[in-house]
Chain A
Amino acid sequence: MKQLRAWIVRLAGVFSKRRREQEIADEIESHLQMQMDDNLRAGMTRDEARRQAIVKLGGVEQTKQIYRERGTMPLVEGLLQDLRFALRQLVKNPAFAVTTIFVVALGMGACVAIFTFVDVTLIKPLPYWRPDRLVEVTESVPMIPRADLSYPDYLDWKSRNDVLSSLDVWTRQGSMLNTPSGVQLIMAGRVSDGFFATLGVAPLLGRDFYKGEDLASAPLTVILSYAGWQKWFGGRPDVIGQPVTLNGDAYTVVGVMPQSFQFAVGGNPAFWITLHPKSHCDLRRGCHDLRGVGRLKDGVAVQKVDAEMKAIAAQLERQYPDSNRGQSAIAEPLRDVMIGDIRPMLLVLLAGAGLLLLIGCVNSSSLLLVRAESRRHEIAVRGALGASQTRLVRQFVTEGLVLVIAGAALGMGFAALLVRVLLGFLTQELIVYTPFVNGLGIDWRAIAFAGGLSLFCLMIFSLAPTLRFTRAGDLRDVLARDHRTGSGTSWRRFASNLVVVELALAVVLLASAGLLTKSLYRLLHVDIGFQSDNLATMQVAMPPTYSTDAKQVALGRQILRSIAALPGVTLAGLTTRTPVSSNGNTTWIRFVGRPYHGEHYEVNQRNVSSEFLKTLEARLVRGRYFSDAEDASKPGVVIINEALARKYFPNEDPIGKMIGDTDLSPKSLQEIIGVVADIREGTLADEIWPAVYEPFNQGPDDYVTVLARSNQAPESLLPAMAAALRQVDPGIAIYDQASMNQRIYDSPPAYMHRTAAWLIGGFAGLALVLGAVGLYGVIAYSVSQRTREIGVRVALGAQRRAVYQLIMGEAGWLTGLGILAGMICAIIAGFLMRALLFGVPAWDVPTLLTVAVLLSLAALMAAYLPARSAASVNPVDALRAE
């Protein structure tokens, strides 16, 4: 307490220096006078009296000094002094200050911005109660490691396991909502009764679903998401008990979830309803459309659950071989499932931003060194006058501190901007894939991270001068040496090392950018098996009134007729799943006339209109297309893709062969009438699966994607298509309108690769510039230091060419080293980010070569300017200069 007070007084003393000085002087003087009085009385002469008094005191200035030091805080005072000095230095050299601060700000901003994304997705806990105890539990088949779960299997899993304290399921379902302005398609979540309880989230208003409310016999109830509440009910507090019509059924609102509740795997539903299993899919063991989420019992590890679920799945497989053959199970932490794809990209981006910051720091640090070098004399003299080494180093640290703080402050602003830009980039689709980016921004965690980075930068900034000046040698050495010739060499070695590091880092970034760009190119040019230009697409949901196959077939025909009649449309088709969206929606087939032991031959199943393949301009390899007349009254027909033909008809002609369902029930039998070249049903990055294309007219659906081939820009066609569909039936819900190319361009893998390629490419560009500038700095300084040497050489008859060689050789040596070191690191980096690479190996030689050439060219340019000035040195001037 007492000490604290003393500290405060001393701290205050820092700022009242002048008054204190006067006071100290007065007091010492009064002391001396009194002693002199005594000494005079003792009979000394006046001079002797004063001398003795000073001796007794121990020297006037010395006393003042220790008095002073006690009076204030020397450390703080020194710091302020350094700070003033540093600011003066920076103001004197604004170009340097601005460059350094800007470079630090850029690196820091990029790091912090990307950190906020990393934090939100990888570090912060999911917004549920004890989220680390939540697991996703679902079925697994060889082709789809994380497949969906069937309702009967779920019930068995739930009752048979004793490792989960609760297990619930959810799925998403597009639903028709009756609103005052017509029917709208919205996303609804269908969940089992304990879903919210398992997550550990309570409703904001109303109640949670009660036990048994998910059974078919229970009344229809709905819990709103906060956003849904705001959007459809204006946030009215009396919403509980209100009626809602979904898919033509009357539901009652029983609750509203809090705003913080997100369950974003595949989009945040606005309405949450319960399962109410009654459709034939819900009751079939072989129909999978659910996902399980469970809470671990205390002390149970995820691996244990995984093993237990696999064991239960094996039991079910024995019990129900028809439906469950090959159906295993998988349990993984919910967090891993939710962030899945984006983790490698974020880590690569963060590493890229980190490298950029590092390059920036190294660059600034070497610039600082250049300036320090020109102050060697000053520093040596100050050292000789008694400034301690730490004191001298501290001054450099302070200078670094000013730069870092300014850079960090600017960087935070830059980060805030970048976060907004990045969020703007995120299409709706991707927000879906990165849950919880809502409310993302610069928070105290980001600020703490920036603080850590600043400390790191400061360390780099201080390291160089510290190493320099603790080894600076003694004063005589420095002053005796002619700084025009010798002083630069040791410094040059040090700065050269920094430049090599800088160039190597630039190579890593450039090579990564090259690999990512090439991946993106490969991805976007992957063979999709059809012509995606001039193709307009939209998803269509039929009104609930179209409840029978016949009605759906009729509406399908009507839709296609109206679209095909539009001006500019050459062909129109429809399918149950948009191409290049995802694999899945599979069926099990069986071949007539082949031995069968219950194997599951899983293939993509698409029900398409007769013109669909022609509309896509997919290539028919063999056989024929369907005709529109082939409907339920005609024998079943099917077109298979080449992948299926290759896999199951390796040395046969598949045309004319019969396939059917696992029971070969007569109704399911289909004759293969055609083979089409592989159409990419899954994402660009996915493999091609075997697929069957069945006539829509033989197996209709109420959700379809309508496609139109046009001879004009497809975007301009979309409004007319929508209008035409509404004319067919105003109850039709239309969503997700886009051209096929746009759809592919915005698809998650393309999006992810593009973001990574752009950002890393940007970082690499900056790194290249910084590396070149760094090299230029070193070479230019080296030339300025060697002016006299070069002058002597020229005077002795050296040709200009030889001078060029001398300087370019030095630059070439550094560049070569940097590129070599960088190549090794780049291959390692490529290997580390192989999850993001598509169709490109980590050691892609063309990319590495391009990078080497690019960097060499930049280095050549950076070295050429100083080399030219060296070659044009006038020997007379150079020798006379000193």
Chain B
Amino acid sequence: MTDKTDVWQGTLALMVLKTLQNMGPLHGYGIARRIEQISGNLLSLNYGTLYPALLKLEQESSIASEWGISENNRKAKFYKLTRAGRKQLEKEARDWEQAAAIVGRFLTPTEEQS
């Protein structure tokens, strides 16, 4: 029984940015596949939701896009991280770690007591 988790609100952008940092320019399909792989197939990602997220990041100029040719010769739109995006990634990653740490601290003592 592997319950797949839905993507938490707000974390998709972080995952996209991190993926683009690790992989370099990549198309939407590639990003989606990569996120699924990294999550160890634990995450249920509706691919369709990825595109508005990409568009939002692009509107905020964290990423830029460009039409290109994929590895298997398909025309595809490639996304790459911009300088602003790199900064945003750093900040969001930091925020996320901090949040996770705080929540973690709350959870640890509770487990000890029970």
- Asked if chains A and B come from one complex, the reply is yes
Name A's B-contacting residues (CB within 8 A).
2-3, 5-6, 9-10, 23-24, 26-28, 30-31, 33-35, 37-38, 56-59, 62-63, 66-67, 69-71
Q: How far is the CB of A511 from chain B (nearest CB, A)?
A: 61
Q: How far is the CA of A629 from the CA of B35 in the complex (A)?
A: 123
The answer, yes or no, to whether B52 is at the interface (CB within 8 Å) is yes
Of the residues B46, B47, B49, B59, contact of A31 by C-beta under 8 Å: B47
User: Which residues of A lie under 8 Å from residue B59 when comparing CB positions?
Assistant: 5-6, 9-10, 70
Q: How far is the CB of A46 from chain B (nearest CB, A)?
A: 16
The answer, yes or no, to whether B41 is at the interface (CB within 8 Å) is no
For A28, the closest partner residue in chain B by CB is: B51
Number of A-B residue pairs with CB-CB distance less than 8 Å in the complex they form: 72
Chain B contact patch, size range: 20 to 34
The answer, yes or no, to whether B37 is at the interface (CB within 8 Å) is no
The answer, yes or no, to whether B94 is at the interface (CB within 8 Å) is no
The answer, yes or no, to whether B29 is at the interface (CB within 8 Å) is yes
User: Do B56 and A37 have beta carbons less than 8 Å apart?
Assistant: no
The answer, yes or no, to whether B55 is at the interface (CB within 8 Å) is yes
Interface of chain B residues 69 through 84 with chain A (CB within 8 A): 70, 72, 74-77
User: Which residues of A lie under 8 Å from residue B46 when comparing CB positions?
Assistant: 56-58
User: Do A27 and B48 have beta carbons less than 8 Å apart?
Assistant: no
Most buried by B among A5, A35, A67: A67
User: Which residues of B lie under 8 Å from residue A6 when comparing CB positions?
Assistant: 56, 59-60
User: Which residues of B lie under 8 Å from residue A27 when comparing CB positions?
Assistant: 28, 51, 76-77
For B77, the closest partner residue in chain A by CB is: A27
Q: How far is the CB of B40 from chain A (nearest CB, A)?
A: 18
User: Which residues of B lie under 8 Å from residue A66 when comparing CB positions?
Assistant: 48-49, 51-52
User: Which residues of B lie under 8 Å from residue A34 when comparing CB positions?
Assistant: 27, 29-30, 70, 72, 74, 76
User: Do A5 and B75 have beta carbons less than 8 Å apart?
Assistant: no
Beyond contacts A5-B60, A30-B74, A66-B49: 20 other A-B pairs, Cβ-Cβ < 8 A, are A2-B60, A2-B61, A24-B51, A27-B51, A27-B77, A28-B51, A30-B76, A30-B77, A31-B76, A33-B74, A34-B29, A34-B30, A35-B29, A57-B46, A57-B48, A59-B48, A63-B47, A63-B48, A63-B51, A66-B48
What 3 A-B pairs are tightest by C-beta distance, nearest first?
A58-B48, A63-B48, A6-B59
Interface string of B45-68 (1 = CB under 8 A from A): 011110110011001110000000
User: Which residues of B lie under 8 Å from residue A59 when comparing CB positions?
Assistant: 48
15 contacts between A and B (CB under 8 A): A23-B77, A26-B75, A27-B28, A27-B77, A30-B75, A31-B27, A34-B72, A38-B33, A63-B48, A63-B51, A67-B55, A69-B52, A70-B55, A70-B56, A70-B59
Q: How far is the CB of A53 from chain B (nearest CB, A)?
A: 9
User: Do A31 and B52 have beta carbons less than 8 Å apart?
Assistant: no
User: Which residues of B lie under 8 Å from residue A69 when comparing CB positions?
Assistant: 52
Q: How far is the CA of A56 from the CA of B51 in the complex (A)?
A: 13
User: Which residues of A lie under 8 Å from residue B77 when comparing CB positions?
Assistant: 23, 26-27, 30
Of the residues A3, A23, A24, A58, contact of B47 by C-beta under 8 Å: A58
Q: How far is the CB of B36 from chain A (nearest CB, A)?
A: 10
User: Which residues of B lie under 8 Å from residue A28 when comparing CB positions?
Assistant: 51
User: Which residues of B lie under 8 Å from residue A35 when comparing CB positions?
Assistant: 29, 47
For B58, the closest partner residue in chain A by CB is: A9
